[in-house]
């Protein structure tokens, strides 16, 4: 699936020597939160990570290890306690339209229709574009996620899968260089989840960009990603391992994928890692 006749000039000129390697760089990252008693809880400790400009990266780890915190730091919604995060060589200090987040629980504005939810984001980011250009972007993205029939409906009139499609269309419409997805398929039933995974992957194949996706689902991570980040348990979570997913792109059907030994090796490796870390470490389950 390719975005045709897209009216927005989409320049990703990089000011670094090796763009694919140095698109997003996280160095020596530490994040601590202060608890109500005034003690620091070190959630993430000494994280080093590089994401290429067209790389699809998944993060897996047990509940409470700091996956969402890491994503929020990349989004600029949280500040690091120590260390640095840079995008194309520039420090990440605050949220920006080049880094868009898709949340598990949709976060649509209930008083706006599907079209208006997407339009709002497009109007905000592409202020200098003509009304016609902005409308074209909105319609192109409604089509991209197959929501034409629901465009005039309100969020409470559509299913969870459709709501998540709107969230994804809204994020993609403003052409982020880096798409951040926090368990984007987590709230969906198994069938909808599979369909949406396939759609997102097809969109990504048509226009590759950097993606960081949090998931609890090892199969989803292997199916979708180039790289899987396996996090150790918190507190003081670190990157335990980084798996390179050496499977063909575009991905074969799930049936054909299951025929590949490599697929099983990766899957088992990730599951073993999670089982071992479950057995070995404290797991944080409480939030805030
Ligand atoms: N704003 C905050 N203030 C204090 N502590 C926080 C804050 N946000 C997160 N935490 C704590 O940081 C730790 C990591 O939380 P985070 O939500 O990043 O984990 P997670 O791996 O995404 O969890 P899950 O898989 O359950 O969504 C938890 O112990 C959580 O309670």
Please write the tens of the pLDDT for every residue from 111-133: 999 999 999 999 999 999 999 99
Which residue's alpha carbon is nearest to atom 31 within ligand 1? 287
Cα angle: 99, vertex 100, 106; to 5 degrees: 160
- Average pLDDT of the residues in 271-279: 87
Which residue's alpha carbon is nearest to atom 2 within ligand 1? 288
Give the pLDDT of residue 180: 96
> Assign residue 76 a region: left if phi > 0, alpha if psi is -120 to 50, beta otherwise?
left
Q: Are strands 178-182 and 99-102 parallel, antiparallel or unpaired?
A: parallel
Q: Please provide the average confidence, as pLDDT, over all residues in the chain.
A: 88
Q: Which of 23, 96, 97 is nearest to 54 (CA)?
A: 23
Specify the fold of 21-93+201-288.
Rossmann fold (3.40.50)
| In the chain, where the domains are located | 21-93+201-288, 99-175
Give the pLDDT of residue 21: 60
Which one of 146-155, 190-199, 276-285 scores highest in mean pLDDT?
146-155
pLDDT (tens digit per residue) in 153-191: 999 999 999 999 999 999 999 889 999 999 999 888 888
Cβ 132 under 6 angstroms from ligand 1: no
Cα angle: 94, vertex 97, 98; to 5 degrees: 95
Q: Which atom of ligand 1 lies at the shortest distance from residue 287's CA? A: 31
Which residue's alpha carbon is nearest to atom 6 within ligand 1? 288
Cβ 288 under 6 angstroms from ligand 1: yes
> What pTM does this model have?
0.88
How far apart are alpha carbons 162 and 59 in whole angstroms?
24
Q: How confident is the model at residue 103 (pLDDT cuts 50, 70, 90)?
A: confident
Cβ 69 under 6 angstroms from ligand 1: yes
Q: Is the pLDDT of residue 78 over 50?
A: yes
Extract long-range pairs of 130-138: CB within 8 Å, 24+ residues apart: 133/7, 133/8, 136/5, 136/7, 137/6, 137/7, 137/8, 137/173, 138/173
| ipTM of the modeled complex | 0.98
| Residue 254 or 104, more confident | 254
pLDDT (tens digit per residue) in 241-259: 999 999 999 999 999 999 9
Q: How far is the CA of 181 from the centre of ligand 1 (A)?
A: 16
How far apart are alpha carbons 142 and 150 in whole angstroms?
9
Q: Chain centroid to CA 42: how far?
A: 23
Cβ 64 under 6 angstroms from ligand 1: yes
Give the pLDDT of residue 107: 86
Q: How far is the CA of 33 from the centre of ligand 1 (A)?
A: 9
- Average pLDDT of the residues in 19-30: 84
Q: Is the pLDDT of residue 72 over 90?
A: yes
Give the pLDDT of residue 11: 31
Q: How far is the CA of 132 from the centre of ligand 1 (A)?
A: 42
Pocket test for ligand 1, best of 37, 69, 186, 274 (most atoms within 8 A of CB): 69
């Amino acid at each position: 699936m390719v975005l045709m006749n897209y009216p927005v000039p989409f320049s990703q000129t990089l000011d670094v020597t090796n763009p694919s390697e140095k698109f997003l760089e996280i160095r020596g990252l530490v994040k601590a939160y202060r608890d109500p008693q005034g003690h620091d809880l070190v959630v993430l400790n000494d994280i080093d990570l590089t994401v290429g400009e067209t790389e699809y990266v998944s993060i897996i780890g047990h509940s409470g290890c700091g996956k969402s915190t890491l994503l929020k730091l990349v989004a600029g919604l949280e500040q690091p306690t120590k260390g640095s995060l840079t995008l194309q060589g520039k420090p990440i200090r605050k949220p920006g339209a080049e880094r868009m987040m898709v949340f598990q629980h949709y976060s649509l504005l209930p008083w706006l229709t599907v079209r208006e939810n997407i339009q709002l984001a497009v109007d905000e980011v592409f202020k200098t574009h003509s009304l016609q250009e902005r409308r074209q972007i909105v319609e192109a993205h409604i089509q991209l996620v197959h929501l034409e029939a629901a465009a005039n409906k309100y969020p409470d009139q559509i299913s969870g899968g459709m709501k998540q499609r709107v969230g994804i269309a809204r994020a993609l419409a403003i052409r982020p260089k880096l798409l951040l997805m926090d368990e984007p398929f987590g709230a969906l039933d198994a069938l909808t989840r599979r369909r949406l995974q396939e759609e997102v992957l097809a969109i990504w194949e048509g226009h590759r960009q950097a993606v960081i996706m949090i998931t609890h689902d090892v199969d989803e991570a292997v199916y979708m990603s180039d790289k899987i980040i396996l996090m150790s348990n918190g507190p003081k979570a670190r990157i335990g391992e980084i798996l390179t997913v050496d499977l063909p792109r575009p991905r074969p059907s799930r049936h054909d994928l299951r025929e590949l030994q490599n697929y099983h090796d990766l899957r088992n490796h990730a599951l073993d890692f999670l089982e071992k870390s479950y057995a070995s470490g404290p797991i944080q389950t409480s939030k805030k």
